[in-house]
Amino acid sequence: MVLIKINGITFLTSPNISILEACLFVGIFIPRFCYHENLSIAGNCRMCLVEIEKSPKPVAACAVPIFNNMIIFTDTVLVKKARENIIEVLLKNHPLDCPICDQAGECDLQDQTNKYGSVRDRNFIGRRPVEDKFLGSLIKTIMTRCIHCTRCVRFSNEVASTFSLGTLKRGEQTEIGGYTETLFNSEFSGTVIDLCPVGALTSKQYAFKVRPWELRLFESSDVTDSTLIPIQVHVKGDTVVRIQPKLKDFNFLISDKTRYSFDALNKNRIRHVFYQETSKKFKIKTWSFLYNLIINLIKEKNNILFLIEDTFDFKTSAELKVLNVHFKDSNIQTAILNLNKLDDYSNKVTNNKVVLAGIPSKICFILGTNLKLENLVLNTQLRLKYFYQNLDVIACGRYCENIFPMQFFNLNISFIFNLIEGKLKVSKSLLKYQNPILIFGKALENRNIQFNACCVIMNKILPSCVKIFTHKNVGGEGIQNLSFKTLNKKQIKKTDIFICVGLNDTINLRRILFLDTKKLFWWFNTHGQTTVCQNASVVIPQLTFLEESKNFIDINKNIKETTPVVPNNYNVQPFFSLLNVIRGFFSLNDQCGFALEYFLFQIKYQKNLNTTHEKNIVKDFSFAKKIWRNSNTLIKKHPFKSLIEDFYMDNTFCKNSAALILRSHELRRLYKNV
């Protein structure tokens, strides 16, 4: 420990930290603009100047380390005058447009000026004009407000690894920009908006819409990544206007999918239950009609198959699992689409907490996963560990462009066993370093690899190795723990009715549903795709993670819950209400009085609620012409698969976001020019 004195009070602090960090540790606030906990030290704003005993001039608190018996002053006349002069210099070229600035109310420059600024202005020279820069369709730039804190530059170089931004020119003509006019090509590009202390970088979705004091804040979880990072959802009235990360430790990063996909809440949404009586003609039905329909199908002993994906929430999938276990002799089954489950042993070998910064390891093996697209946060942690802790990364699989250098090897069965058995030169790295990190991806699921045998051998050779199994989708961990069966050909032939719950419209799904025209399927989803909905017999709405509380299991084996922030104005019922009706029907045959009362209550409640509502709705219409008249969805049954693995268009919710669609088109044009 180090003994220091701050403003006449003696403290004991940890060594090898700066003055600013020591002051924050003991609860003394020091103003700053360029300093950030997760970025390197720049020391160019000079706002954190403090006075040290026997020092002829103030020093930057963020760049000077502490030493034993140091005497620091943070509230002297010299320090206050220095901060006042710094504010005056920063406001020399900064426009006074706070009434129209989107950062107003959350601007650090406003707060510091109010506390440390002067009431006079000695500037008689006109403000310097700066041309706005183009950073893409998501980030709005007004560079005349820039104070050159270089937070965005350091984030671009150190975390995002895009090197899109830099400091141009010198002295009075200094600007922040790029050598070439190109977009900010990063999956975390929206993070620079949170890092900017002034209104130079703001969100185009948030521009001129609301003020911070009009917002209500809700804490939820990010469902676009299996890490499930805590987020803050900002709501004005009944409308979501912004999503930001909950700043804590490393969780200042959220992907652009999480930050900008909320505009899909009001686009191409399914709001009512639709039943197809004639070809391409649908009629709006009540929820009681849907419940009676599913009961009649069960009475007729039709083979019903619930088809789900690894985006399913854990709460509803657990309800579905209970239904299958208790009524396994019935004609109701559940299967997972495109998820070949690994052995149950994989759940016992993964690490409890995935915080790579605290793992003393010097080598990492990535087997069958593209972390840049499947788990951004884990990939960024690997990058920081690569540069600051000298981590060697070896990737086995197809080559992919990442944000840090890697060694690539071909992925096959013989390579994995030769690696574990020590027959390769690379195998020496497993024994040379302690605590090697092994990251297993989804690509191993599609190969005939005895994962159980690999883990047993690895535990015998290296008991201290850290094994991490990553899922691309947020519900993969919960689905795997419930041990659902994978869809096979026998189930397809046996099934009479498919109930597709929360599926993504893909070519593989269309081949299953459209292969036999005699088989019916229900489409249970939040958004509608034209081709699938036109061929479905029943289209049922579903609630999103912003409208319903959903539970998921993250990569650290912790249960996270989303918060409903938008009211359910259309009275859309959750999926487990349908499961309760089915359970009530079976309990009715078993003479269970409680289930019978619940079942009758569901029918009676929905009938009374929807009787007056459906009179004011046009009954007959076509999905293609009425609901999605402005949609650009492909009409063909089997469209070509994109050659680019699109990070922004990998689920139904993101595919209906206007901001992400525009971002995806920008990247496609960029790769086309390359």
Query: Which residue ranges make up each domain of the chain?
Result: 2-90, 98-266, 274-332+490-627, 346-478
The DSSP element (H or E) to which 560 belongs, if any, is: strand 559-561
The answer to whether domain 346-478 has CATH 1.10.1390 is no
Q: What angle do CA 77, 83, 84 make, to 5 degrees?
A: 85
Residue 615 has pLDDT above 60, yes or no: no
Q: Could you give the CA distance from residue 265 to residue 543 in angstroms, rounded to a whole number? A: 10
Rounded to 5 degrees, what are φ and ψ at 63? -110, -10
In terms of phi and psi (left: phi > 0; alpha: psi -120 to 50; beta: otherwise), the region of 194 is alpha
Amino acid residing at 70: M
Q: Which pLDDT score, from 0 to 100, does residue 616 have?
A: 33
The chain-wide mean pLDDT, for the chain, equals 80
Q: Which pLDDT score, from 0 to 100, does residue 388 have?
A: 82
Q: Which pLDDT score, from 0 to 100, does residue 580 have?
A: 83
Which residue has better confidence, 401 or 297? 297
Which residue has better confidence, 653 or 427? 653
Q: Which pLDDT score, from 0 to 100, does residue 211 have?
A: 92
Q: What is the CATH number of domain 98-266?
A: 3.30.70.20
At 409-455, the pLDDT tens digits run 776 667 777 777 777 777 777 777 778 888 877 666 555 455 556 66
User: 3.10.20.70, 3.40.50.740, 3.40.50.280, 2.40.30.10: which CATH number matches 274-332+490-627?
Assistant: 3.40.50.740
Bridge-based pairing state of the strands 2-6 and 70-73? parallel
Residue 335 has pLDDT above 50, yes or no: yes
Furthest CA-CA distance within the chain? 92
Mean pLDDT of 236-262: 85
Q: How confident is the model at residue 636 (pLDDT cuts 50, 70, 90)?
A: very low
Q: Integer distance in angstroms from the first to the last C-alpha of the chain?
A: 54
Residue 76 has pLDDT above 90, yes or no: yes
The answer to whether domain 2-90 has CATH 3.40.50.620 is no
Q: How confident is the model at residue 360 (pLDDT cuts 50, 70, 90)?
A: confident
Q: How confident is the model at residue 605 (pLDDT cuts 50, 70, 90)?
A: very low
Q: What is the CA 307 to chain-centroid distance, rounded?
A: 24
Give 500's strand partners. 307, 523
Structural contact between residues 444 and 367, judged by C-beta atoms closer than 8 angstroms: yes
Q: Which pLDDT score, from 0 to 100, does residue 73 have?
A: 95
At 500-516, the pLDDT tens digits run 998 888 877 888 888 77
Q: Which pLDDT score, from 0 to 100, does residue 557 have?
A: 76
What percentage of the chain's residues is helix, strand, coil (to nearest 5)?
Answer: 35, 20, 45
Residue 30 has pLDDT above 90, yes or no: yes
Token pair 């690490």 is found at: 351
Residue 88 has pLDDT above 50, yes or no: yes
> By C-alpha distance, which of 23, 142, 157, 124 is closest to 79?
23
Q: How confident is the model at residue 106 (pLDDT cuts 50, 70, 90)?
A: very high
Structural contact between residues 596 and 276, judged by C-beta atoms closer than 8 angstroms: no
Q: How confident is the model at residue 274 (pLDDT cuts 50, 70, 90)?
A: very high
What predicted TM-score, i.e. pTM, was given to this entire model?
A: 0.84
**In angstroms, what CA-CA distances link 319 with 312, 378, 499, 579?**
12, 31, 15, 7
Residue 325 has pLDDT above 60, yes or no: yes
Using the CB atoms, write b or e for 232-244: b if 16+ within 10 Å: bbbbeeeebbbbb
Residue 285 has pLDDT above 60, yes or no: yes
Q: Could you give the CA distance from residue 282 to residue 295 in angstroms, rounded to a whole number? A: 21
Q: Quick one: 204 exposed, middle or buried, by C-beta within 10 A (0-12, 13-18, 19+)? A: middle
Q: Which pLDDT score, from 0 to 100, does residue 591 have?
A: 37
**In angstroms, what CA-CA distances link 119 with 49, 113, 145, 270, 358?**
21, 10, 20, 56, 48
Q: Quick one: 210 exposed, middle or buried, by C-beta within 10 A (0-12, 13-18, 19+)? A: middle
Which residue has better confidence, 52 or 226? 52
Q: Which pLDDT score, from 0 to 100, does residue 64 have?
A: 93
Q: What is the CA 309 to chain-centroid distance, rounded?
A: 18
Count of helices and strands (H, E) across the chain: 22, 26
Q: Which pLDDT score, from 0 to 100, does residue 38 have?
A: 86
Residue 565 has pLDDT above 90, yes or no: yes
